[in-house]
Amino acid sequence: MSRVPSGLWQNLIALQVYGANTNVGKTVFSTLLGAHFVKRAGKRRWSLHYIKPVSTGPATDADDAYVKRHVKGAAVTTLFQFKDPVSPHIAARDAEFIPTDDHLVRRLHAKIKVNANQFAWEKHMGLTIVETAGGVLSPGPSGVPQADIFRPLRLPVILVGDHRLGGIASTISAAESLLLRGYDIAAVVCFDDQGQYHNAEYLKEYFERKNIRAVTLSWIPELEGCTEEEERKAMKRYYEKHSESYEINELSRIVIKQHEDRLYTMDKLAARTRKVIWHPFTQHKHTTNTDDILVFDSAYGDYFQTKHTPASLTGLSKSGRPKDVTDKPIFYPAFDGSASWWTQGLGHGNPTLSLAAAYAAGRYGHVMFAGATHEPAVTLAETLLQGMKNPRLAKCFYTDDGSTAAEVGIKMALRATCKRYEWDGSTENIGILGLKGSYHGDTIGAMDASEPNIFNEKTDWYRGRGYWFDFPTVKMKMGEWVVESPPGMTEQLGGQELFPHLDDVFDFEARGAGTGRRWWLYEKYIRSKLDDLVKRQGLKFGALVMEPILLGAGGMIFVDPLFQRKLVEVVRSYSFSPVDPPTDPLHWTGLPILFDEVFTGLHRLGPFTPSSLLDIHPDISIHAKLLTGGLLPLSVTLASKSIFRAFLSPSKADALLHGHSYTAHPIGCHVANTSLREMETLKRSYAWKDFRRGWDPEAGRSEGQGEGQAWSMKRRQGPSNKTWSMWRRSLVEWLSYHPAVDHVVALGSVLAISLRDSEGSGYSSNAAAGLRDALLTDRSKTAVNVHARVLGNVIYFMASLTTSPKDLNAVSEALKQKLDLVSGVETAVSRKEEYEEEFEQFRWMADEEVEDEPVRTP
């Protein structure tokens, strides 16, 4: 995905002219508009630059020459010219050089940026018209539809309507294709065909009803049978006359006003936000400055389009009009380093997901789900149940977010336990078992399932109900994976264990057999704790609730998977009540096991479910976040039949009387189905195989031993390691040696770095804030900006599942640079020379910039 800023400058209006079809008069329109602006629109002086990114046909016929000829003083550029007069994707087949989409967008951006600089120097306002080829979705040289290629710039669009028979339909459809890709349509223009089909009249009315401005343009002179000279003269007259017409004046007012409005909106949005918005998880005493609020104009792929803080907007007067002519860009792209609070999977502004959302909205809107059903909800339930590969899970209950899914899961578990053990949950205190540092959401029920902590301690109705175990953790330190017990508990839980590979940590057989002592210590520790709670204190428990492998909000704590396995095993075999356990192996025993996979599930850590890494089959699991690929809220609670049956009775009052209005809303379900299908194909992609290969314990060994043949066979089969990360192993190891770093964890798309902090760790710590700020605020030319989130002394980075190795490398390089910078280290530890080589590679990728070229004036 192109890391370019969206195209908004103070002194330059960059417009993209799309046609509803080919041959609708795009170039005539561009010329007309250009001629108008050059004559000075809105009492300013304007310079015009016309850019044709891709042109096909003989260069002598090219649109740029045409514009140049008719608009005095226009600078014109064609970025790529192909000689066949066909669609660019066909024309490019025989070309020597086919630009990638990324290259095309960066070239275009660089070109417009040069304009901005040049116009600023000339003290003019600038209009840059970018005219596309063919229709909105005509393929570019790569074969990708143009509106997708140019989306990162998100230039305001003027859509030239089709005046011919059938043109109403094609114009509206073209507009819809633009809108569903997140474009703003500045105006629709249509040449008035003087009473033949009346398209212009219809379109004007139609679009204005939809709050899109529309302008009718005077008919182009009849040129059939004219000589070249006659044609030129006729058009000259046309441009002279109509470039000062009422209609084109109206259009230029619209365009200028929208530009100013957009600048004004961007300028004021932080202040408006401060006035009316109560932010989540925010101490507003600290947000006294509007600069503290990041303003997002849009997002695409892995990047936010973020507004520069006011410092760069000093040229704006109160009304949003530039006081001086300044070439300041308004946005910079920032890598979405928290995957927008752990939700993103398939990139922002993904057109496949937009269309899926629109389809379900068009087919159903929302339809109520009580006593009813629809296909997307059932298919999603089936897909999830199959994907979990857990023979216990049989039923799917829909809610809206992770917190409500947790509430439902807890209600399910408590009822099942109370029913079997004949406890009265309405009078007796039934607790849950869990891990220290757990988090399941912010509604009271979900809060009560976590130990007292900073999130809940000031919540008046919070009453932590349960017991939360200490546990050993997994960390990479100095290049090795360490299993470490909490301070002062090494006697109970064992000392450090070291492993070269993460897969070894998950090799339960080896760890049970090799260091049987730890397996046994875990069992002893858990049993004695339970004996104390249940037998001695007489407490009652209704469920074991935990996040498998990684405790997210708790600070990205990596739990020793062996401990989680042991805990489940002990809880399932423990006698919490004298009632005999059922014999059916799919029924829960001891207590129901609830896995909160809201953060860790659905490929966030690699596999469909992290429970497969643990080889545990929970009785209940909850899922949200990535479920819709990162588009909109939806959550599910999956449950076993044995849990489901606890609610069966002749009485309605015994049912699970829980529901939300938008339960199983079709848009969410259909988008989720689409997302999960896309993720399935990702799983088999080369990119993912390469990520996995980078963490393959065998890889180094085979290569080292030079077993050429075996290795190449293995390459064909693909790597077989269970654990891997999208973040390179070399990066993770590098970090783990860094003097400012205490330890690192990486799994799937997650990378978390615990920084050394003399003031102690925890949520209220500020250790990582410096690194976070350095990553976001570097405005140097080659800086890769990253928007990261911190949890106390932990800074973490989370990619989308579609993030490219190139983008990951750029972020990695930025991270290393800034870590050195803020920690005052020249270059951290360089354990092996091999890293050096990779640094070079990173650096090369980060530096790769399209050269700015001067404006071509042919």
174 in contact with a second copy (CB under 8 A): yes
**Out of 319, 649, 782, 830, which residue is the one contacting a second copy (CB under 8 A)?**
649
Q: Which of residues 654-673 bind a second copy (CB under 8 A)?
A: 654-663, 665, 667-668
Q: Which 3 state secondary structure label does DSSP give 353?
A: helix
Handedness of CA 456, 461, 464, 466 (dihedral sign): negative
Q: Which of residues 288-327 bind a second copy (CB under 8 A)?
A: 292-299, 304
Cα 78 to Cα 2, 55, 504: the distances in Å are 20, 7, 57
Q: Which of residues 456-475 bind a second copy (CB under 8 A)?
A: 456-462, 465
- Reference 397, options 149, 640, 122, 151; nearest CA is 640
Q: Which residues, listed in sequence order, are joined to residue 789 by a DSSP beta bridge?
A: 796
Instruction: Give, to the nearest 10 degrees, the angle between helix 561-573 and helix 516-530.
Output: 50
Q: How far is the CB of 36 from a second copy (least distance, A)?
A: 26
Nearer to a second copy, 345 or 494 (CB): 345
| Tally of CB atoms within 10 A around 208 | 12
Q: Which 3 state secondary structure label does DSSP give 617?
A: coil
**Cα–Cα dist 224/108, whole Å:** 35
803 in contact with a second copy (CB under 8 A): no
Let me know: does 214 contact 3? Beta carbons within 8 Å: no
Let me know: does 717 contact 709? Beta carbons within 8 Å: no
Q: Which of residues 75-134 bind a second copy (CB under 8 A)?
A: 86-87, 89-90, 134
| Interface characters, 361-390, with a second copy (x: CB under 8 A) | xxxxxxxxxxxxxxx-xx--xx--x-----
Question: Segment near a second copy (CB under 8 A), from 139-147, 502-510, 832-840, 843-851?
Answer: 139-147
Cα 419 to Cα 426, 530, 539, 650, 835: the distances in Å are 12, 21, 17, 15, 59
149 in contact with a second copy (CB under 8 A): no
279 in contact with a second copy (CB under 8 A): yes
**Cα–Cα dist 107/126, whole Å:** 18
| Interface characters, 421-450, with a second copy (x: CB under 8 A) | ----xx---x----------xxxxxx-x--
Q: Which of residues 720-779 bind a second copy (CB under 8 A)?
A: 763-764
Nearer to a second copy, 42 or 659 (CB): 659
579 in contact with a second copy (CB under 8 A): no
Q: How many Cα atoms within 13 Å fall on the side-chain side of residue 234?
A: 14
Whole-number CA gyration radius for the chain: 31
**Out of 263, 360, 545, 810, which residue is the one contacting a second copy (CB under 8 A)?**
360
**Out of 109, 411, 501, 743, which residue is the one contacting a second copy (CB under 8 A)?**
411
414 in contact with a second copy (CB under 8 A): yes
Q: Which of residues 769-788 bind a second copy (CB under 8 A)?
A: none
Cα 375 to Cα 362, 372, 669: the distances in Å are 14, 11, 9
286 in contact with a second copy (CB under 8 A): yes
Nearer to a second copy, 145 or 494 (CB): 145
Let me know: does 125 contact 44? Beta carbons within 8 Å: yes
**Out of 3, 49, 111, 154, which residue is the one contacting a second copy (CB under 8 A)?**
154
| Interface characters, 672-711, with a second copy (x: CB under 8 A) | ----------------------------------------
**Out of 651, 709, 717, 780, which residue is the one contacting a second copy (CB under 8 A)?**
651
194 in contact with a second copy (CB under 8 A): no
Let me know: does 679 contact 603? Beta carbons within 8 Å: yes
Nearer to a second copy, 207 or 238 (CB): 207
573 in contact with a second copy (CB under 8 A): no
E strand or H helix that includes residue 88? helix 88-91
Q: How far is the CB of 774 from a second copy (least distance, A)?
A: 16
349 in contact with a second copy (CB under 8 A): yes
577 in contact with a second copy (CB under 8 A): no
Q: Which residues, listed in sequence order, are joined to residue 469 by a DSSP beta bridge?
A: 435
**Cα–Cα dist 805/726, whole Å:** 8
Q: How far is the CB of 59 from a second copy (least distance, A)?
A: 19
Task: List strands edge to edge, sheet with 473-477.
Answer: 497-499, 480-484, 473-477, 741-747, 750-755, 794-798, 789-791
Question: Segment near a second copy (CB under 8 A), from 233-241, 332-340, 604-612, 817-825?
Answer: 332-340
**Out of 183, 467, 471, 695, which residue is the one contacting a second copy (CB under 8 A)?**
183
Q: DSSP string covering 40-52, please? A: TSTTS-EEEEEEE
**Out of 63, 102, 401, 733, which residue is the one contacting a second copy (CB under 8 A)?**
401
Q: How far is the CB of 681 from a second copy (least distance, A)?
A: 10
Q: Which of residues 623-642 bind a second copy (CB under 8 A)?
A: 624-625, 630-633, 639
Give the pairing type, strands 593-596 and 785-787: unpaired
**Cα–Cα dist 517/511, whole Å:** 9
